[in-house]
Amino acid sequence: MRSPKLLQHLQPLPRPVLIAIVAATAGGSLLFAPHTATADRERPPVRERSTDADSAANAPASAARNALTAPVTDLADADDGSTDTDKGTGGYPREQVLTPDPENPADKSIKLGLTPYHAIAPKLNALQQLGDRVSVEIAGRSAGGHRLYLVTVTAPETARQARAQDRMRELIENAPRLAAKDPAVKAAYKTPVFFNNNIHGNEWEGTDAALDLIERLATAKDKKTTDLLARNRLYFNITANPDGRIAGTRANANGFDMNRDFVTASQPEVRAMREIEIDKQPAVMLDLHGYVNGTLIEPTTPPHGENYEYDLFLKNTYANALGMEAAVNGLGYTPAKDGVEPAQIPFRDQQEGWDDWPPIFTPQYAAFHGTVAAHTVEIPLTVNNSAYDSLPVAELRRRSAINVDVAGAAMRATLDFAQSHRASLIADQIEVFRRGAAGAAQVPVSAETVPGVPGIGPEDVYTTAFPRAYVIPAGASQRSATAAARLVDHLLANDVRVSRATGDFRLAGRSYAKGSYVVDLRQPKRGLANVLLADGRDISDEVSTMYDISGWSLGRLWGATVERVRGGGLSGAPLRAVDEAAHVGYVAPRGDLRLRLDTPQEIAALNSLLKQGVSVRQDRDGSALVPASARAKAAAAARAYDVAFDATKASGGTVLHRVRVAAAVTSGELFALREMNFDVVPVSTAILNAGFDWSTADVLFVSSGLDRSALTPAARTALDAFLGNHGLVGGGATGAALNTATGLLAVQPVEGNEDANGVVSVVNSGGLVTSGAPDHSFVYAPVWFTDLGPGVRVEQWYATGNPLVSGHWRPRNDGTGGPSAAAGQAAVVSGPHAVLFGTEPLFRDHPKGEFPQVGRALLTVS
């Protein structure tokens, strides 16, 4: 369940021909050349590159630059230590014998009478032996190292037939005008349908419903089934979160809610799902969750994502929702007898509070890859959290059996919908890509444009004005070449087309240097490009409440300079499509060296040098000064982290030391700290009360999970003694409360509306913490500081006026806590031994450009 705060041609086309077709369709621009590796985009088993910062020195620079969005590699070409045997061919089925996992009697699924993770591989082996319809691939591995199983169910295909499907799928995305007219697409293209299960680990039953359905499809001989499999490819992500399934937790082994991670893609499971979306290009998908009674079936309430083609999306999601509702209610469960309420469709049955605004949710992200019917389905009966521990086993198993039945009904109804609406679904997917490539206007929803959907009103109309392009400039106008390269790689990993200038050029009256990157918004996935790069929108006046975050701009938060080109043509720009960003790692050939500390990679490189014993000083502008004697180590760091060491004649500065961080923080913040190569040991109220060795830490970072008033006297004394000689970095209300209790900085924290979140404008003072920092940050339950006492320095202010750029930030009902109250107030403050953040610079491992503020703070106060 979501939780508030609290989404042609049968013969292969030669690559040059396809490029020419795409170029012609896009008005001659080679920005729309297809993916570099499109000979078989439906890549078999994939896995992610290592994200271990300490081993980055031995990794390619592009991997170190962006470990979280590194391109995947094929398991077929890499040894992961598995003994799984692949017996597949270029066609279907693509069978492989999976090695079993050790039996785990502690698997939380067992108590519910569901399939434990260790039983999935044997089950899949058995399903593959039932006939020639079931194929199994390894889509990646979880954060905890468990295999992610992708099952394909379809009628057998020869290698040639499979290649023909690949070519048609490529044509749909890359040459949609031709695809719309192609008789082969209309007659022979198999509709891709995707079922994503168990992304929240303690919402189990989608996995079991999927296994049951696969078994039925594998063996059924009736005409309905054979017709279905002849016209569709069905993809099942059996468990998107095996770590959480085993442990009975919502999050994966890294502590991440992966249904919030699709913009950032910090987690390997999310990157695997992203690859499935790109490679399989589903027209229809379900994301199976729990628990809402009665069963909740999207489409959603306002606000609706303004960057996708909502008229096509709403038409199909509503029609499929009606079919799922009928199927679920048709099971015959009742409130009186079974405790099951009738199904509900938020678009029809609710006013607000269950929106599809942010692309962080699986179905909302899928929409940007051409999925025109994408749903979250929340099955009804709670079996997790307190219910798991308090209810009798028999009752838990009764509920789980009903939930499996409900999930299965939703899946079967979706298959009926996909089969009966095949032609229109493919036509609508083609239209999504056509509008993007052509730069066509969006179609606002109305009773006329989306017939058959009742209750459409002005509150449902959300569209945006797409710019002509975005430029990520090179040269002096780029804040950080390292951040720019990371952003470009992330865009490419999301299947956004990017080109690089082979010479100087002008666009819309502005000059840009050779090497600048251009994201032409006339591309099939323009919605995804824009939702990632645009500022976003302040929707505070649109609705009274939001389900989750409302702002997320990579263009503002990832540290690179990104410029919007509103109109005009691109024909005068000498552009060449790229499949990775150019490396920017560099070391000056002589003299002492300066390393800017403006990106997470630069902080990570610095920490790598400090761990190697290099003597590094910090200059007045916050940058790191590295002696010429460490040039070889700097060169290794430049290669590993893709950062630049420039020559400097600066002298003096403050000596920097390796920092060991005791951190009472969220999982996302912990992940971000480790990305910056800090030595981190997690702490909490419970850990300190159990006895903590403070000699293992140099600085304390607190934003969550540590309440000084709940400490034992001994733990409180030890904490106070540590802070008497070491530094504190505090985040949000929790960090501010600890500062108040210990009296380190004389400030008065003011808490804003706890439901507020989004991108804000800020003003930096130029101190060691915020020198050169971006002029935007992120807030989530914002805090600001007043009544500043002696020795307190303001590092950053909220901008005057309305600091909110995009997101949702209203005053409370009593008028307090709104953006106008925060305007002009201190957002980040510092003193000799403490730094306090009222912003959220590490939120969910997302706002990359803000990370160095925390990194510098930890280095400064330690």
Catalytic residues: 378
Cβ-based neighbour number of residue 563 at 10 Å: 18
> What's the distance, CA 567 to chain centroid?
29
Peptide bond into 291 cis (omega under 30): yes
Instruction: For residues 176 and 427, give the distance between their C-alpha atoms in angstroms, rounded to a whole number.
Output: 9
Extended beta strands in 32-75, E state: 46-47, 73-74
- Compute CA distances 395 → 148, 338, 392, 676, 743, whole Å: 30, 11, 5, 47, 52
Instruction: For residues 611 and 614, give the distance between their C-alpha atoms in angstroms, rounded to a whole number.
Output: 7
User: Which residue is associated with the tokens 């628990």?
Assistant: 291
Three-state SS for 139? strand
* Paired tokens of 108: 């939380």
- Compute CA distances 477 → 274, 385, 427, 565, whole Å: 32, 51, 43, 15
- Sign of the CA dihedral with 756 first, then 760, 763, and 764 last: positive
* Paired tokens of 767: 């101190």
- What residues contact residue 630 under an 8 Å CB cut-off, 6+ apart? 593, 609, 614, 615
Instruction: For residues 161 and 249, give the distance between their C-alpha atoms in angstroms, rounded to a whole number.
Output: 42
**Pair 706, 683: CB distance under 8 Å:** yes
Q: Kindly report the CA angle at 706 between 702 and 710, in degrees rounded to 5?
A: 150
- What residues contact residue 357 under an 8 Å CB cut-off, 6+ apart? 7, 303, 304, 305, 364, 539, 546, 547, 550
* Paired tokens of 637: 């760091």
**Pair 116, 246: CB distance under 8 Å:** yes
Instruction: For residues 21 and 32, give the distance between their C-alpha atoms in angstroms, rounded to a whole number.
Output: 10
Which backbone phi and psi does 771 adopt, to 5 degrees? -60, 125
- Compute CA distances 79 → 24, 44, 75, 370, whole Å: 41, 14, 7, 33
Cβ-based neighbour number of residue 60 at 10 Å: 16
- Compute CA distances 458 → 7, 446, 447, 462, whole Å: 22, 8, 11, 9
Instruction: For residues 844 and 543, give the distance between their C-alpha atoms in angstroms, rounded to a whole number.
Output: 24
- What residues contact residue 660 under an 8 Å CB cut-off, 6+ apart? 678, 679, 680, 681, 696, 697, 698, 699
First vs last Cα of the chain: how many Å apart? 41
Instruction: For residues 552 and 788, give the distance between their C-alpha atoms in angstroms, rounded to a whole number.
Output: 31
Closest CA to 66 of 49, 89, 42: 49
Instruction: For residues 295 and 289, give the distance between their C-alpha atoms in angstroms, rounded to a whole number.
Output: 10
- Compute CA distances 832 → 620, 750, 773, 791, whole Å: 15, 22, 20, 8
Write the DSSP assignment of 285-352 as a string of letters. Answer: EEEEEE--SSPEE---EEEEPTTS-HHHHHHHHHHHHHHHHHHHHTT---HHHH--PPPB-HHHH-SS
* Paired tokens of 131: 């006939």
Write the DSSP assignment of 91-109 as a string of letters. Answer: SB---EEPPPPPP-TT-TT
> What's the distance, CA 754 to chain centroid?
23
Instruction: For residues 458 and 304, give the distance between their C-alpha atoms in angstroms, rounded to a whole number.
Output: 12
